[in-house]
């Protein structure tokens, strides 16, 4: 046994959790460097951070690589769908707002609402892809159903991600340079923890998802 672990068990446990986020963050930056691999790197990071949320086997590096490798194609497609849908909704929102009439403003707010629904579905989509591998069609369907059935958990996840971003913006320079290693892991942890609040009632230990 490690003598530090014996003397300071809580501090040691906290350090192990922080190390998961830091190692996961380093792996995310490394694997996301080609840009096209960003979606799969996000899935790998959620897989690695999942050990802090639910019991999963393996070490941080192994969990990251497993999530990255097995979901690469589906993660890329999901990322492209997010990019296209987000771009179209943003363009429509700006277009109808610029027209200036009350009716077009209502249409603009409708597109903004659709964007918010898509963001809530994403809170579930990435953890589903990381923890319960499945074809993209059923995954999108389940993500939307979870967002409709459990909107509070999705909004909590979005709020936590926003809080991480705002906190990073107000940190002083030297601290910000160190915090950048924790940022991606905290975002993945926020998404995973919020999603798991709803997903755990449907999850099965054999990596299947109940209807």
Tokens describing residue 2? 């490690």
* Mean pLDDT, range 18-31, rounded to an integer: 90
Per-residue model confidence as pLDDT tens digits over 39-69: 999 999 999 988 888 877 778 888 999 999 9
Q: What pLDDT band is residue 7 in, cutting at 50, 70 and 90?
A: low
* Mean pLDDT, range 188-207, rounded to an integer: 84
Neighbour-count burial for 160-178, b at 16+ CB within 10 Å, e otherwise: bbeebeeebeeeeeeeeee
- Does 211 score more than 50 pLDDT? no
Q: What pLDDT band is residue 175 in, cutting at 50, 70 and 90?
A: confident
Higher-confidence residue of 200 and 114: namely 114
Per-residue model confidence as pLDDT tens digits over 80-118: 999 999 999 999 999 999 988 888 999 999 999 999 999
Tokens describing residue 43? 């899935």
Q: What pLDDT band is residue 208 in, cutting at 50, 70 and 90?
A: low
Is residue 32 within 8 A of residue 41, CB to CB? The reply is yes
- pLDDT reported for residue 3: 62
Q: Which helix (H) or strand (E) holds 79?
A: helix 72-99
- pLDDT reported for residue 56: 73
**Which residues are within 8 A (CB) of 131 and not within 5 positions of it... i.e. 6 or more apart?**
46, 47, 50, 54, 56, 199, 203, 207
Maximum CA extent, the chain: 70
Main-chain phi, psi angles of 9, to 5 degrees? -65, -40
Higher-confidence residue of 204 and 37: namely 37
């Amino acid at each position: 046994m490690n003598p530090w672990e014996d003397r300071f068990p809580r501090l040691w446990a906290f350090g192990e959790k922080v190390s998961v986020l830091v190692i996961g963050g380093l792996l995310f930056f490394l694997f996301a460097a080609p840009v096209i691999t960003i979606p799969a790197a996000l899935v790998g990071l959620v897989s690695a951070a999942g050990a802090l949320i639910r019991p999963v086997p393996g070490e941080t590096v192994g969990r990251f690589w497993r999530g990255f490798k097995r979901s690469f194609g589906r993660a890329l497609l999901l990322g492209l769908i997010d990019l296209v849908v987000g771009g179209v909704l943003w363009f429509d929102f700006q277009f109808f707002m610029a027209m200036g009439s009350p009716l077009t403003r209502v249409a603009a707010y409708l597109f903004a609402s659709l964007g918010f629904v898509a963001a809530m579905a994403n809170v579930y989509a990435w953890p589903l892809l990381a923890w319960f591998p499945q074809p993209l069609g059923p995954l999108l369907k389940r993500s939307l159903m979870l967002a409709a059935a459990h909107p509070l958990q999705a909004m909590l996840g979005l709020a936590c991600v926003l809080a991480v971003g705002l906190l990073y913006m107000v940190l002083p320079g030297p601290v910000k340079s160190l915090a950048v290693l924790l940022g991606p892991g905290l975002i993945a942890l926020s998404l995973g923890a919020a999603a798991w609040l709803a997903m755990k009632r449907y999850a099965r230990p054999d990596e299947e998802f109940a209807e």
